[in-house]
Amino acid sequence: MKFLIIFSLSLNLIYAMSKPLELKVIYFNAGKEIKADISKSDQNKISQILTKLFSNCDEAYKLYISDDRINEIKKTDSGIEIFLGKSILYKTKSLGNYKVKKIMIPFTGDFAGDEKSSEVTIFAGEKEYFTPPLISKNAFKNVRELEIIIRKASSQLHK
């Protein structure tokens, strides 16, 4: 009997781990928002990239980010907003764990990363974005990979 219970729990755990994370991805550019239709395999890639981005966070900006500032970024810059199907606990390099249900990563503007510094700003939160935003080191390549996946997902995103 114990064996059947353990076996059943193991199967449930394996099923839960193999089930892809449900994602809703919104591309924003100068006030326009477009929902990207992401395949299951690309959702898995995005999930892996997000884990890498958070694992490289070892700093946070020393500033308060209001909802108004988030809205201003979405009106003037480009980037992505990712809404997770459930809260996920991400482990950072030296800042501890963050329980996250939504993530915003700017591609342009004051908070965008660049190839030279390779630092990327991550806005994350559950219902509201946490303050301060996190800084992910050596992450510019990962964000470019995210951008390629998003652009591939929807022909509307091509310039």
CA distance 77 to 106: 7
Per-residue pLDDT of the chain (159 residues; tens, 9 = 90+): 554 444 444 433 343 444 557 899 999 999 999 999 899 999 999 999 999 999 999 899 998 889 999 999 999 999 999 999 999 999 998 899 999 999 999 999 999 988 888 899 999 999 999 989 999 988 999 999 999 998 888 654 544
Three-state DSSP at 99 gives strand
Domains of the chain: which residue ranges? Answer: 21-157
Residue 93 Cα to chain centre, angstroms: 16
Q: What is the pLDDT of residues 24-57, one digit of tens each?
A: 999 999 999 999 989 999 999 999 999 999 999 9
pLDDT at position 18: 47
pLDDT at position 113: 85
* Kind plus residue range of the DSSP H or E element containing 91: strand 78-91
